[in-house]
Structure 1
Amino acid sequence: MINQGSRRKKSTHRLMGVITMITVATVLATACSAPGAKGAATVQLTPKAIKTEAIKLQTISNPIEQVADVAAGTTLDVISKANGEVTEVLKNRGEYVTKGDVLFVIDNKDALSAQRKSQLQVKSAQDALQQARDNKVNNRKDLADSVTRAQTALKNAQQDYNKIRNDFEAGTVTQHQVDQLKQAMDNAQMSLDSAQNKLAAFDNTDSISAAVTQAESATLTLDDATRSLDNYQVKAAGNGVLTDFNVVVGQTVSAAAGKVGQIQQIDPIKIKTELTETNYQLVKGKQELVYYNPDSPDKKGKAKISYLAPIMSAATKTYTLELEVPNPDHQLSPGNRYMVQLTTESEEKVTVVPTLSVIREESNTFVFVQQGDQYVKRKVKLGRISGEFQEVLEGIKEGEQLVVSGQSTLKDGQKVTAPAASTQAAATATPTPAAK
């Protein structure tokens, strides 16, 4: 009997505990749902506090880069201008040569013979020219002497004629004698006229022009032979690396065969690449760009833009870009690949906003900025995304106050809430210990 009573008491105590817990839970539920009660339900209905931050510049990404090819600044062909057998090779493929260096020599025996013949022809022509000049001097002197003698004869005939006329008037000579002297004077005049005409004709005739032409022609032939002789030593047309050169002793070369090698000028050297329309816009208007070897990214240099195609290639749909790089130590070699930075680190430092601060309405994007005592809604044009930030291309600028929290509750032109009110709203939104 005693055990049964104890069991009844324990059951009654358990039942009362359950009833008490249910009652407490009901009271708490009623309290949480009552108007004005504080708790978790109230926190969910409280608007998020408005917060602003100054807009700053931030690096959105690393500089935009593109692979480029290293190429010779200029390529010069090695061409033989003479025909014959190679007797000596002085330079090898891959060797650096300077302008004027002899690359190889061609047998020039025939050219030497032609030069000697031309020299003899020049001497013969010059001798003939000198003889013609001497003859011209002598012939003119003879003609001039003839004129002088004719003048003297005419003068004597005139004196004799004047004297005999005086004698005729005195009656000491006959008319026949006067006529004879008159005829002699006329003959002397004609002889003078003839001598003077011959001298004038001689002076108007270039009696040595043919000899001069022959001498000049012989001289030109000698010059050609001398230049031709120079062609038997094939020389470098510029500074650079000798490539595609396989000439050997005993080989026969000819002018008609075309190039026998190339000289690639590597100082300055070129870095070339092809740009898309988008990358072309990044480079347009710039004077120089940064380049580096991908194997040594810490060693960067700047190079002048020597050429940027003004129009797109119809075949490749790209724009050709060429950089000119001084290369006195020949560290850059044709055939290598380098990286070219189309933008700089400073260009990648742009205006950004937190992605969560952007309001999207259909295809448009907006942000709110605090302008004076108002919140102003601004339409913005967005660019690249980097983590939680996004680039802004248009619409805002550095230093403005951007609304980064609570922007969804604002209206364009809404007045800025006093700081005290904002603090109070934040305090109201804080859950009470009872609600936890």
Structure 2
Amino acid sequence: MRQKRRKPQRKPVKTICILALSFAVLSGCSDTAPLNPDANSVYNEQGQKAVKVFKVIKQKIGDPLERNAEVLSSAQFDVISKVSGDVEQILKKRGEMVQEGDVIVKLKSGELTTQRETAALTVQTAQEAIEKAKVRAKKETENQKSDMNNAIQKKELAMAGLLRTYNKMKNDYDIGLVTKAQLYQMETQMMDARLDLDQLKQKATMLEPIDATSELETQLKTAQIALQQIDQTIKNLEIKAQVSGLLTEMPLEAGMTLQPSSPVGIIQRLDPIKIKAQLTEEETRHLSDKKELPYYVTGTKQMLKGTISYVAKVIDPQTKAYEINLQVPNKDLTLKPGMKLMVQMSEEKDQIVLTVPTYAIVKEGDAAYVYVLDGDTVEKRSVQLGRLNEPNQEVLAGLKEGELVVKTNPNQLRDKEKVHMTAVEEQ
């Protein structure tokens, strides 16, 4: 019996291929689906845009701002001659450290020596004249007192004689030998004599020593002042350091003649010492609330601090920068003029600031905005931006830590628009 020829059974193979293709399509769809929310806004069933947000946090925006600086003397003092004279001795040399009060140069002047001898002789003469005048005045005063006492004694004797005569006349009046007029006349003489005696005694008590020295004392005081001025001038023959520091620029030789105000040298004060730097306008914004700034010597890592002593209010037209000065104690003279330093306008803690990703910022001209989520509504918030360190940018104003900011397609949103938040992600 003739057997029928069987055809190959392809149905299972076809089924397997269809299943494999369907699985691949489904797998491809599931792999690409998560990318869509970040690429384009999607809508939920209510027609609201689906957005992802992040919390505003503080994080490091960059390294501390540094600027090259230079060490300078905090001040320079001109050393000058106050008097004329010849250089007799040079005690300090250029480049030496001097202390306040140290003698740098000694001058000599024969003219001043002569003037002092003359002034001293004038003082001595005036003093001797005063002593002689005092002796004379004492004698004259004693003579006046003696004369006054003698006059009083004479008056007292005369008064005693008048009293005896009066008593005799009073007895004679009682027996009729003296008239009443004669007795009255005698009483008048006694009263006048007593009055004269009382006046003499009062003058004796008010008698003062004779002043014969007032004019001479004025002359003495004038001579003493002249002597003091000459002595001060002689002291100025020693030219001293008015401050402690480094002595520079002293072109003197022994035997040179100096006039008043002649330059002797320059003292650079090194304690405290000054650190000078030039800043940009942006860098000066970091100084608003600071009184000190850190610094370190180039090539080292030891961080020190200096007090801000000066910040320029206007830009220097030559350097196109703002000058800043630090004042630093320098007792051990570690810092010397000409040394190079690095000054930090900000510290590590200043780098921890509020930031947002640059893709969350919407720019409109010079203005910058972000969309802040509040419930189911977004607010278009103006922000002030600071330093940029891709992909993050510092926010100086407009946001608070912990607020939620939209990160997906902010350019497609409108102020006060209702949205649907799908996730809170990290920046």
- TM-score tier by shorter-chain length is 0.7 to 0.9
Structure 2 residue corresponding to 1:268, chosen from 264, 267, 272: 272
1:427: which partner in 2? none
C-alpha distance 410-107 of structure 1, shift in aligned 2 (>3 A) = closer
Distance 1:224 1:188, change over 3 A: farther
- Provide Cα deviations, 1:48-70, integer angstroms capped at 9, x if missing partner: 25554443323223323334442
Q: 2:257 and 2:127 mapped to 1: Cα distance?
A: 38
CA distance change for structure 1 residues 232 and 58 in 2, over 3 Å: closer, same or farther? same
What is the match of residue 36 of structure 2? Answer: 47
Which residue of the other structure, out of 208, 216, 236, is the alignment partner of 1:211? 216
Hey, what does 1:255 align to over in structure 2? 260
Distance change >3 Å, CA 46–CA 113, structure 1 → 2: closer
Which SS does the other structure have where 2:37 is aligned? Answer: coil
Contact 2:296 2:302 in 1 (8 A): yes
Q: Cα 1:323–1:191, aligned 2, differ >3 Å: closer, same or farther?
A: same
Supply the distance in 2 between the matched residues of 1:45 and 1:163 (Cα, whole angstroms). 153
* SS of alignment partner, residue 334 of structure 1: coil
Structural mapping, 1:232-247, within 5 Å: 232-247=237-252
CA 1:156–1:375 in 2, change beyond 3 Å: closer, same or farther? same
**Where does the alignment leave 5 or more consecutive residues of structure 1 unmatched?**
1-27, 420-436
Measured against aligned partners, the alpha-carbon deviations of 1:81-113 in whole angstroms (never above 9, x if no partner) come to 121111111111111000111111112443333
Does the residue aligned with 1:73 lie in a helix, a strand or coil?
strand
**Cα separation, 2, equivalents of 1:156 and 1:396:** 118
Q: 1:307, 1:297 → 2: CA distance?
A: 25
Matches within 5 A, 1:125-144: 125-144=126-145
- Residue 376 of structure 1 is matched in structure 2 by 378
**Residues 111-260 of structure 1 aligned to structure 2 (within 5 Å):** 111-168=112-169, 170=172, 203=209, 206-257=211-262, 259-260=263-264
Conserved in 1, the CA contact under 8 Å of 2:163 and 2:190?
no
Deviates more, 1:220-229 or 1:270-279: 270-279
Greater percentage in helix:
1
Equivalents in 2 of 1:369, 1:390: separation in Å?
16
Tell me how far apart the structure 2 counterparts of residues 300 and 325 of structure 1 sit (CA, whole Å).
13
For the 8 Å contact 1:64–1:342, the answer to whether it is kept is yes
Quote the RMSD (CA, aligned, Å): 4.2
Partner of 1:99: 100
Deviation at 1:342, TM superposition (A): 2.0
- 1:74 maps to 75
Which residue does the alignment assign to 1:349?
A: 352
1:177-228 deviation line (CA, Å, top 9, x unaligned): x99999899799769858976995755x632111222222222222222222
Paired residue type of 2:105:
F
Give aligned pairs, total: 383
Is 1:85–1:252's contact at 8 Å kept on the other side of the alignment? yes
- Is the CA contact 2:245–2:270 (under 8 Å) kept in the aligned structure 1? yes
Is 2:418 aligned against 1:413?
Answer: yes
Q: Distance in 1 between matches of 2:194 and 2:290?
A: 94
Native 8 Å contact 2:137 2:211 kept in 1: no
Report the Cα distance in structure 2 between the residues aligned to 1:52 and 1:180, rounded to whole angstroms: 137
**Compared CA separation, residues 166 and 57, structure 1 to 2 (3 A):** closer
**1:110 equivalent in alignment to 2:111:** yes
Q: CA deviation at 1:273?
A: 4.1
- Give the 3 Å change call, closer, same or farther, for CA 300–37 of structure 1 in structure 2: closer
Question: What fraction of aligned residue pairs are identical, expressed as a percent?
Answer: 31
Do structure 1's residue 306 and structure 2's residue 309 form an aligned pair? yes
**1:399 positional shift:** 3.5
- 3-state SS, counterpart of residue 321 of structure 1: strand
Per-residue deviation, 1:312: 3.6
- Structure 2 residue matching 1:397: 3-state secondary structure: coil
Query: How far off is 1:155 after superposition?
Result: 0.9
Q: Write the distance in 1 (CA, Å) between the matches of 2:409 and 2:373.
A: 12
Instruction: Give how far 1:370 is off.
Output: 5.2
Question: Given the alignment of the two structures, is residue 285 of structure 1 paired with residue 289 of structure 2, yes or no?
Answer: yes
5+ residue gaps, structure 2, are: 1-17, 39-50
1:360–1:366 Cα contact (<8 Å) kept: yes
Q: Choose 184-193 or 344-353, whichever is displaced more.
A: 184-193
Deviations 1:229-284, CA, capped at 9 Å, x for gaps: 21111111111000111111111111143x32111111111123455554443212
Q: Find the counterpart in structure 1 of residue 48 from structure 2.
A: none
Q: Does the 8 A contact of 1:61 with 1:386 survive in 2? A: yes
Alpha-carbon distance in structure 1 between the residues aligned to 2:269 and 2:108:
29
Q: TM-score, normalised by structure 1?
A: 0.73
User: Do the aligned partners of 1:67 and 1:273 also contact (CA within 8 Å) in 2?
Assistant: yes
Decide whether aligned partners of structure 1 residues 388 and 382 sit closer, same or farther in structure 2, where only a CA change above 3 A counts: same
The one-letter amino acid paired with 2:267 is I
Larger strand share, 1 or 2: 2
CA-to-partner distance for each residue in 1:285-306, whole Å, 9 max, x for gaps?
A: 311111223x225232111123
Q: What amino acid is the match of 1:47? A: N
- Tell me the amino acid that sits aligned with residue 388 of structure 2: I
Within 1, Cα distance between the matches of 2:386 and 2:217?
82
Asked if 1 retains the 8 angstrom alpha-carbon contact of 2:159 and 2:193, the reply is no
Change (3 A) 1:43 1:363: farther
Would the alpha carbon gap of residues 275 and 385 (structure 1) be closer, same or farther in structure 2, given more than 3 Å must change? closer
Counterpart CA distance in 2 for 1:224 and 1:331 is 43
Question: Which residue of 393, 397, 417 maps to 2:396?
Answer: 393
Residues 269 and 304 of structure 1: CA distance in aligned 2, closer, same or farther (over 3 Å): same
CA contact (8 A) 2:152 2:200 kept: no
